[in-house]
Amino acid sequence: MAQRALEPRAEADALALRYRTDAPDVLWNDTIAQILAHRSVRAYLPDVLPEHTVETLVAAAQSASSSSNLQVWSVVAIADAGKRQHLAALAGGQKHIEEAPLILLWVADLARAQRLADDAGEPSEGFDFLESYTVAVVDAALAAQNAVLAAESLGLGTVYIGALRNHPEEVAAIAGLPPRAFVVFGLVVGRSDPALPAAVKPRLPQSVVLHREAYALESQIEPIARYDETARAFQNEQGQSPVGWRTLLLARGRSAASLNGRDRLKQALRTLGFALS
């Protein structure tokens, strides 16, 4: 889409919400405006989605890039209330999985490739390597983000559910997955509850994540400290404990227990048929 001039206030407001401070200068059009307005929605109406919503989101997902066009991902659409309730419990009681009418399970899928190799009587050693698993995970993530953008363009809300990796074998059973298939994450889709609007969460300054020509670590420390203040202000606005960003990051890396069961992910993947050589 060609760059289009909008009201300066709209651009400034969008950048202020995303960065609060240290906002960069950017090019601007409707697509960029939609992307910058992204927010994770955790309060949904139970409304049934419009007909063909799932097909539209999958068409958008399939339009994402795929490594070597291998297309080693799949998606399982779960609308059944009982299954969504079970998934919500496995994800630590995330009620929005139950409230919204749909969750999409994004699958790193080497099962299809293995079946085709078996049918052709071809060797399939390459699918045993970590590289093949990585390609499948990356492909699934790229596809899902396209689906998010499509959903938001239709006025729908979304939120990723990484906590399904806390119990990968149980989630695979709910989705009916064969060996060599793994749910990387879920994606809740529905109509946002206007009574509980989601906020745009501020991100790290570009001076932290953008490196020109070579990576620089030491120069990140000062802008991270400023961002920590921004994160605390946002958390306070949302009625959360204002602990900042660094505290959350460090808590996740403190111990194996901090991973909420995902410390055994390699074991679970091997149980699900991934050799990870």
Per-residue pLDDT tens digits for 45-78: 999 999 999 999 999 999 999 999 999 999 999 9
- Domain co-membership, 30 together with 51: no
Average pLDDT score over residue span 14-43 = 95
Residues 208 and 227: beta-carbon distance below 8 Å: yes
- Domain co-membership, 104 together with 208: no
pLDDT > 70 fraction of the chain, expressed in percent and rounded: 97
- Domain co-membership, 128 together with 186: yes
- Domain co-membership, 194 together with 206: no
Structural domain tally of the chain?
Answer: 3
- Domain co-membership, 84 together with 144: yes
- Domain co-membership, 134 together with 232: no
- Domain co-membership, 144 together with 186: yes
> How far apart are the C-alpha atoms of 97 and 168, rounded to whole Å?
17
Inform me whether the pLDDT recorded for 7 exceeds 80. no
Task: List the domain range (segments joined by +) for residue 54.
Answer: 44-199
Global pTM reads: 0.95
Per-residue pLDDT tens digits for 108-160: 999 999 999 999 999 999 999 999 999 999 999 999 999 999 999 999 999 99
CB neighbour class for 223 (10 Å; exposed up to 12, middle 13-18, buried from 19): middle
- Domain co-membership, 142 together with 61: yes
Identify the pLDDT of residue 3. Answer: 43
Which of 199, 222, 241 terminates a domain? The answer is 199
H-only helix segments in 38-110? 53-62, 81-90, 96-99
Nearest residue to 227 via CA among 48, 10, 22, 81: 22
Per-residue pLDDT tens digits for 67-107: 999 999 999 999 999 999 999 999 999 999 999 999 999 99
Beta-strand relationship, 181-192 and 102-109 = antiparallel
Average pLDDT score over residue span 241-267 = 97
Identify the pLDDT of residue 10. Answer: 85
- Domain co-membership, 31 together with 110: no
- Domain co-membership, 116 together with 20: no
CA dihedral 30, 35, 41, 44 (to 10 degrees): 30
Inform me whether the pLDDT recorded for 268 exceeds 90. yes
